């Protein structure tokens, strides 16, 4: 994830400027700027978590290119569906590459046992319905493994950090969208103070850090 020292310094400076101009209209400029800056950092950090993990975990260049395109096409930062979809695709690629590496003869009756060993956690009881593995149907398997893997990831997360992060992301996105599609019209607008934005940012950071740590616990190819 992107180092947070620079954004913390930026938010701190913005907060001081906000307090300096608390008695005049310019304080609203700094309140808006704090929201825009924190959200920009969050969007870049979400992409960074996905791509940095992919560069460390994946070997197939086609999978790396596919993830890069997904991050480029992702223009929001709510956990579900935006960040969750990126993580699901990443984990699906990681699982399919482990399957590729271990592929020998997965058409026998022990398919579920072999897949469980490769994925390093238990598959659902109906996993045998996936049918025999064929490298030509990787896309379907990637989706299936991504769905199973993201659910496993969410079980590993600190529930409190995750819940607080999701709530903070929603609040920041609502504020950012309102501010990004309007302009300040010469009257005092209702905008969260930088101190509020800073606390929401901290809540998001703790959740993102926990996700990053848990994602990297998944085995390498």
The predicted pLDDT at position 131 comes to: 45
CB atoms within 10 A of CB 76: 14
Domains of the chain: which residue ranges?
5-215
Question: Other CB atoms closer than 10 Å to residue 193's CB: what's the count?
Answer: 16
The pLDDT score that the predictor gives to residue 186 is: 59
Give the orientation angle of helix 159-180 with respect to helix 194-215, to 10 degrees: 130
- For residues 39 and 75, the answer to whether their CB atoms sit within 8 Å is no
85-112, pLDDT tens digit by residue? 999 999 999 988 887 776 655 554 455 5
pLDDT at residue 141 greater than cutoff 80: no
pTM, two decimal places:
0.83
d(CA 76, CA 74): 6
User: Would you report the helix, strand and coil content of the chain in percent, each value rounded to 5?
Assistant: 75, 0, 25
Helix/strand/coil for 126: coil
């Amino acid at each position: 994830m992107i180092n947070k020292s620079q954004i913390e310094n930026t938010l701190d400076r913005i907060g001081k400027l906000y307090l300096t101009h608390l008695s005049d209209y310019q304080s609203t400029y700094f309140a808006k700027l704090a929201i825009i800056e924190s959200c920009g950092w969050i969007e870049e950090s979400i992409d960074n978590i996905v791509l940095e993990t992919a560069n460390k975990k994946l070997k197939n260049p086609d999978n790396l290119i596919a993830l890069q395109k997904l991050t480029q096409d992702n223009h929001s930062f709510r956990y579900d569906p935006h960040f969750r979809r990126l993580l699901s695709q990443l984990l699906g690629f990681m699982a399919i590459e482990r399957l590729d590496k271990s592929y020998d003869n997965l058409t026998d009756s022990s398919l579920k046992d072999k897949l469980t060993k490769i994925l390093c956690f238990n598959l659902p009881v109906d996993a045998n319905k996936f049918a025999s593995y064929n490298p030509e149907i990787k896309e379907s398997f990637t989706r299936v493994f991504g769905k199973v893997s993201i659910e496993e990831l969410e079980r590993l997360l600190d529930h409190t950090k995750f819940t607080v992060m999701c709530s903070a992301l929603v609040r920041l996105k609502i504020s950012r969208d309102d501010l990004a599609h309007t302009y300040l019209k010469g009257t005092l607008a209702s905008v969260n103070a930088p101190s509020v934005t800073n606390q929401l940012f901290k809540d998001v950071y703790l959740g993102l850090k926990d996700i990053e740590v848990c994602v990297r616990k998944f085995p390498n190819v």
